[in-house]
Amino acid sequence: MTKPDDLSSTKNVEGTAEQRNALRRSMLAARKAIPPEIRAQADAAINAQIRNILSGIKGSYTIAGYVTDGTEPDLAPVLKEALAQGNTLCLPRYISAEKYDFAFADSLEFCNAKFGIPEPGPDASAADLKVLNDAIWLIPGVVFDPSCARMGRGKGVYDRMLEAAQPKLAIGIFYECQNGIKIPAQPHDRPMDIIVTESRIITRSGFINPLLQGE
């Protein structure tokens, strides 16, 4: 497994931009280098982990998911299953370089695509903040650590959306090779409630899932 340079020893716990970008480059390279057969196995395991979490949710639910860029874990199986079971799906839709919204989707078959990533078309209705607050967010990222910290690509797109929506359940989706050991966090970085990889589910210390049956 590709390991990042030891960036966790820095005296500046927030990390410099150079340190954070070096960590991103290391993890993006590690994710891209996963062999296809290993990636397929990891994707199947990640989908199984998510099914395990969703099986404990009471009633129907909305997923704020994503469509893989080809290197992120592919959640298509579990998203299709959620739709088939009568649940609601919304997916990111490009607006500008640093802004996306979430639009409702009744399938994963799209004609519209930005940067090669399929997304709902302009006629799809946008999900409002109430919907997104109640949704289960499945969020890709570049780096995670065992405290449930997450780093994305550095544009703050998800940080801003999470700040606006304040979802009850935010789940970060990663491969194990993206473990940054200790992320040099910044104040605006929103921790995940749960991290899912192919080999484990990590719950943030003190977090109690409000959507579980019986809660």
Domains of the chain: 17-203 (3.40.50.10420)
- Residues of the chain where predicted confidence (pLDDT) is lower than 70: 1-15, 185, 213-215
Pairing of β 62-64 and β 201-203: unpaired
pTM (two decimals): 0.88
pLDDT of residue 198: 98
Q: Per residue in 53-80, pLDDT tens?
A: 999 998 999 999 999 999 999 999 999 9
Q: What share of the chain is helix, strand, coil (3-state, %, to 5)?
A: 30, 20, 50
pLDDT of residue 213: 61
Which H or E run includes 37?
Answer: helix 36-54
Look at the chain and count its residues: 215
Q: Per residue in 101-134, pLDDT tens?
A: 999 999 998 877 777 888 998 899 999 999 999 9
CB contact at 8 A, 151 and 143: yes
